[in-house]
Chains A and B, each alone.
Chain A
């Protein structure tokens, strides 16, 4: 009896994992392109292939890797670079918090695993999946995260190897892959939530605040300020109307 139960459980986990892998596929091209661009930039900044492999495996954060390459070339100090990485990646606090209610039933190590592979992209895909559900199978999340992780590291290495041949990745539209992907994820999110007028208002708030704040703060800080203010506006309006 318990053996049968364990077996069906294992099969269920496998199916969920594979579904997560499948749901990651549409984002693979977008992130592969940007990963190649990151590899090229890091290579151009003088990083060896081994260093590129290590940074994509351990840091695993797109925008931060671009910034490290830029700052290192400019001769910034180690502490300044690490502090900048911290600021740029602080937005993960918000994404991690937003996911927490869906994974509250999980043990410690599973939450650590999910959190450590959290990216803008996996968060956006997961949000779409979660917007109509109260819970999600953690193996689905593992499948999604694992695919994104492999894809990113592979792309970085490929970019590092190609680095000597394509010094200008933007010529091939590679730099537009990421914005295009977020536009797609954003539209899917809006369509699945069915709160169109409220979401439009939140979007406008976020855009306006992000642009306004960028005159006074760095881009990554502006993103956080915009997210916090726009989400607060959404929460208030939903409550009072």
Chain B
């Protein structure tokens, strides 16, 4: 059990380049007041980034996998009706597992 030198450099280097974008805006923007349009723009970031991340994980990664589409639609329905995050994840995983097992 050891840590190789090249892996160690990758981890430390990766940590630094990840830490900067994580921390700097919080530090800098909390010192200044953004104009009204800037604040409004930032309020649309959560919804936009989540939509883009879902698109990435569903369509870009496994381009045209019908099983993933079906499971995603069912997960969307479960989330809308139950408003339960845990329920959505459990049902989604169960559906994709069944689809892959039977088809």
Contacts and interface: CB of A to CB of B under 8 A. Distances in A.
Contacts of A131: 46
A228 to B, nearest CB: 8
Contact of A115 (B26, B44, B60, B61): B26
B49 A227 contact: yes
Interface residues of B, number: 77
Contacts, number: 300
B47 to A, nearest CB: 5
Contact of B53 (A30, A49, A51, A120): A120
Interface hub of A48, A103, A115, A124 (most chain B Cβ within 10 A): A115
A227 B9 CA distance: 31
A184 B15 contact: no
Nearest to A85: B14
Given A103-B30, A127-B46, A189-B50, A68 B25 contact: no
B66 interface: no
Contact of B88 (A58, A170, A184, A220): A184
Interface in A154-207: 170-174, 176-191, 193, 199, 202-203, 205-207
A29 B86 contact: yes
A54 to B, nearest CB: 6
Contacts of A83: 17
A59 B47 contact: no
B23 to A, nearest CB: 4
B80 to A, nearest CB: 5
Contacts of B7: 47, 51, 55, 72
Contacts of B25: 93, 96-97, 100, 115
A231 to B, nearest CB: 4
A183 B92 contact: yes
A206 B29 contact: no
A4 B28 CA distance: 35
Given A51-B4, A180-B93, A210-B52, A203 B47 contact: yes
Interface in A86-106: 86, 89-101, 103-104, 106
A136 interface: no
Nearest to A229: B48
Most buried by B among A82, A112, A173, A231: A173
Interface of B: 1-4, 6-15, 17-19, 21-31, 34, 37, 39-61, 68, 71-72, 75-76, 78-80, 83-97, 100
24 contacts: A48-B2, A51-B7, A59-B11, A60-B18, A78-B10, A85-B10, A89-B18, A93-B24, A94-B49, A127-B46, A171-B97, A176-B92, A179-B58, A179-B92, A182-B57, A187-B88, A202-B44, A203-B48, A214-B56, A222-B56, A226-B52, A231-B42, A234-B41, A239-B37
